[in-house]
Amino acid sequence: MNTHPVDTASSTDIFSSTFLIGNVGAPFVIGLAVGYFAKKMLRTALFLGGAAIVLLFVAEYYDIINITDEKLQHVASVATEAAKSSGGFLVDRLTSVTSKGVSGVGGFFVGFKLG
């Protein structure tokens, strides 16, 4: 007779460690990594964009180029729309990692906050 307890947790038990790690933990960590990376890349892009704008202002000061405010605002609005669409793409992709997508998106926002 076997005296060892038998694991009776089924695959539908939402409180089992196998279910939680596979459906909540791993997508959260994936979202955390993507959010952290996205924030670092956004900061790097803003740094490089700011440096480019300063170089354009310097070139305008020395009469090398001519920049109008309308053109500068148009470029800034195009860059903002591109950032919004790429952020939306990442969140949409993370929602497909699990059936509910909540843990992946939650991890993304936590990682973005930490980054």
9-50 per-position pLDDT tens digit: 445 555 555 555 655 677 888 888 988 998 999 899 899 999
pTM above 0.85, yes or no: no
Rg (CA), the chain: 23
How many Cα atoms sit within 13 Å of 81 on the Cβ side? 6
Instruction: Judge whether 30 and 97 are in contact, CB under 8 Å.
Output: yes
> Mean pLDDT in the chain?
79
Which pLDDT does position 79 carry in this prediction? 87
Which pLDDT does position 40 carry in this prediction? 93
Phi, psi of 72 (to 5 degrees): -65, -40
Helix and strand numbers (H, E) in the chain are 4, 0
**Token pair listed for 30:** 């994936």
Angle ∠(71,59,72) on CA atoms, nearest 5: 15
44-85 per-position pLDDT tens digit: 989 999 999 999 999 999 999 998 899 989 988 998 888 888
Residue located via tokens 């000061």: 61
Q: Name the residue among 75, 76, 86 with its Cα closest to residue 41.
A: 86
**Token pair listed for 67:** 């920049």
